[in-house]
């Protein structure tokens, strides 16, 4: 790579924040929806329609035209949707939910990335919200964070859980523990997708989740098959279960903490007991240009959600499980071809059995 190519790549990075908000703002202002319904509008008419000065409309649409998202007709001065016209509405909604998350949970917070990395604490949440703690605590107190976060998470869970349960073996009548199971959604999915006589699923999380979790079990009609245990995963993981699930959790922690969790699971299971983990994973070849995970998750975890943690390669999780006394029976990751082309995370699953 020549110095010129390196500096040109820096320039790509430099325009990143501006490009991101220029695109999102065109949606937020209603420019895209207005053009969808009224193709051919001029900047003056568009400005009238959305309550923005025509000069600003023109400025924001330059980039949309450059990208062929929007077409501009020199003769009439009219704009219409170009590539954006052909994008499925559901796909667009998914992408916009992600963009909203990035705006609300990342854009301002990453300003403080260096401080967050130095202290291991989220300097951004402290500065912007006066909040001491991680994003998962902050969403409980701040509506803007909560809304953008839960909207995205509900989407992700709905899309990913069926794939997880396709790959994970839950023997009939098993006793299943969903570690860090939050307010029960994972347990509900487990029961609904893996129903068998005698199957019992228990959500394990901090005691303050119990009330909402039990209400969720009631609302989904699974209260007879699901239960809740309150506790701290770093102190003791409950015994008496055949299968442990750990979904969207290990990536929140540095290696030491991941080992504490895996050791705890190991202690809680009998020999032959199973653990199934799901996490976003980095590609085995970090340089693979088809993957966007290392472009996103280090900053996301270190600067915006935890002040620590981050995803790993699937092979790293495999070897960590082996180091903790498990035999890996399955390791599978989604490839870019398996997911929509706007989606950044690629989930991986590792299934393992306690051997000693």
Instruction: Out of 40, 48, 62, 150, name the contact with its own copies by CB under 8 A.
Output: 62
Of 57 and 275, nearer to its own copies (C-beta) is 57
> Which 252-311 residues touch its own copies, going by CB under 8 A?
254-255, 282, 286-287, 289, 292, 294-303, 308-310
DSSP code of residue 131: -
Closest by CA position to 29, among listed 37, 21, 38: 21
Q: Does 44 bind its own copies (CB under 8 A)?
A: no
* d(C-alpha 245, C-alpha 254), whole Å: 19
- The least distance separating its own copies from the CB of residue 344, rounded to whole angstroms, comes to 6
- Can residue 219 be called a binding residue for its own copies (CB under 8 A)? no
Distance of CA 83 to the CA centre of its chain: 27
Q: Which is nearer to its own copies, 120 or 240 (CB)?
A: 120
Closer by beta carbon to its own copies, 216 or else 299: 299
Give residues 313-332 in contact with its own copies (rule: CB under 8 A): none
**Closer residue to its own copies in complex, CB, 223/344:** 344
120 forms part of the interface with its own copies (CB under 8 A)? yes
Which of 235, 307, 246, 300 is closest to 278 using CA atoms? 246
Residue reference for tokens 């290392």: 294
User: Which residue, 300 or 317, is less far from its own copies as judged by CB?
Assistant: 300
State which residue, 63 or 229, has the beta carbon closest to its own copies: 63
**What residues numbered 1-40 form the site for its own copies, per CB under 8 A?**
1-11, 13-25, 28-29
Which residue pairs from 117-122 have beta carbons closer than 8 angstroms and sit at least 24 positions apart in sequence?
Answer: 117/302, 117/303, 117/307, 119/307, 120/307, 120/308, 121/307, 122/303, 122/304, 122/305, 122/306, 122/307
* Chain residues 88-107 in contact with its own copies, contact rule CB under 8 A: 88, 91, 95, 98-99, 102-103, 106-107
Exposure class string for 140-178: b at 16+ Cβ within 10 A, else e: eebeebeebbebbbebbbeebbebbbeebebeeebebbb
| Least spacing, CB of residue 298 vs its own copies, in Å | 4
Contact 209, 190 (CB under 8 A): no
């Amino acid at each position: 790579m020549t110095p010129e190519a390196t500096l040109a790549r820096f320039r790509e990075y430099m325009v990143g924040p501006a490009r991101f908000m220029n695109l999102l703002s065109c949606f937020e202002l209603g420019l895209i929806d207005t053009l969808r319904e009224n193709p051919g509008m001029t900047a003056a008419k568009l400005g009238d329609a959305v309550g923005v000065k025509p000069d600003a409309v023109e400025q924001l649409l330059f980039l949309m035209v450059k990208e062929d998202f929007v077409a501009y007709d020199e003769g009439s001065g009219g704009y219409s949707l170009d590539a954006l016209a052909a994008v499925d509405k559901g796909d667009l909604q998914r992408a916009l939910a992600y963009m909203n998350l990035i705006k609300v949970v990342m854009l301002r917070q990453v300003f403080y990335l260096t401080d967050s990395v130095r202290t291991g604490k989220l300097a951004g949440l402290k500065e912007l919200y006066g909040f001491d703690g991680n994003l998962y605590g902050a969403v409980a107190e701040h509506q803007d964070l909560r809304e953008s976060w839960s909207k995205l998470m509900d989407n992700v869970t709905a899309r990913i859980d069926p794939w997880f349960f396709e790959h994970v073996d839950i023997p009939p009548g098993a006793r299943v523990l969903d570690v860090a199971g939050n307010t029960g959604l994972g347990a509900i999915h487990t029961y609904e997708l893996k129903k068998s006589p005698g199957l019992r699923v228990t959500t394990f999380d901090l005691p303050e989740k119990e009330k909402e979790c039990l209400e969720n079990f009631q609302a989904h009609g699974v209260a007879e098959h699901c239960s809740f245990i309150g506790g701290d995963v770093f102190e003791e993981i409950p015994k008496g279960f055949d299968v442990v699930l750990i979904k969207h959790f290990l990536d929140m922690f540095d290696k030491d903490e991941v080992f504490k969790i895996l050791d705890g699971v190991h202690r809680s299971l009998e020999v032959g007991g199973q653990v199934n983990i799901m996490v976003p994973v980095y590609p085995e070849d970090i340089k693979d240009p088809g993957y966007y995970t290392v472009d996103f998750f280090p900053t996301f975890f270190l600067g915006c959600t935890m002040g620590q943690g981050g995803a790993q390669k699937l092979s790293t999780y495999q070897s960590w499980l082996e180091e903790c006394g498990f035999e890996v029976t399955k390791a599978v990751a989604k490839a870019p071809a398996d997911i929509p082309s706007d989606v950044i995370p690629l989930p991986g699953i590792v299934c393992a059995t306690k051997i000693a």
